[in-house]
Structure 1
Amino acid sequence: LYIFATTPSRSIFNQAQIAILLYPLSACGHVHSSAPGWLLQAEDSVEPRKASFELYGADFMLGRDLRPWLLEINASPTMAPSTGVTARLCPAVQEDTLRVVLDRRCDRNTHTGGFQLIYKQ
């Protein structure tokens, strides 16, 4: 799970303000506790292939009580930046994905950037 928030570049909130707002949600585990469930539900629809991986994206909406609601899961989300935030975020996700896929094979304790292991099969 890669923890981040995106907003249009003209938003009244910047990424740091949104991260402060979302931190309690992450700390309480709302997103972390629900992610394994929706990943396991989708597992049967994914055809496993040797020596490959797939990057998925998830879109959430915050309710009035600030609880996250899963809107959709995207297979192979676009890595084309469309805002100032995604211009910084997309390269970071790409670099961190390579850390998880390549570097972690050699060193299980390697730094994985913004990725956190929240479920292990």
Structure 2
Amino acid sequence: MSRTRYSPDWKQIATAVKNSSDWRCSRCERPCLRPGEKPPELTLSQRRVYNLQVHHYNFDPSDNRLENLAPLCSSCLSSLTTDSDEAIFHLGNYHSFRDNTPFINLKKNYY
């Protein structure tokens, strides 16, 4: 996936999504590490599990509609397949393109 498909303000958008979820995975609700956090009891490989990333439900990094974004821990993100219907199935409790209901409202925090 080309980084040029991400909008110039992607870092700000991703940070707003993570902040709005209180740095928790929207699928498993695992608390994730914030930038700069390095608990001494966790090894580097253990810290990677607690890395929060922002997923595009439709796998299009240029589509930053709030209802298309979800904060996911590394484990949950890696469990998704590249089939968008499968992704909706895995995350069905949190978002549905069928009824267009976002799981999170970021307008007050970012836009």
In the superposition, the TM-score normalised over structure 2's length comes to 0.34
Bigger CA radius of gyration: 1
Report which of the two has the higher share of helix: 1
In the superposition, the TM-score normalised over structure 1's length comes to 0.32
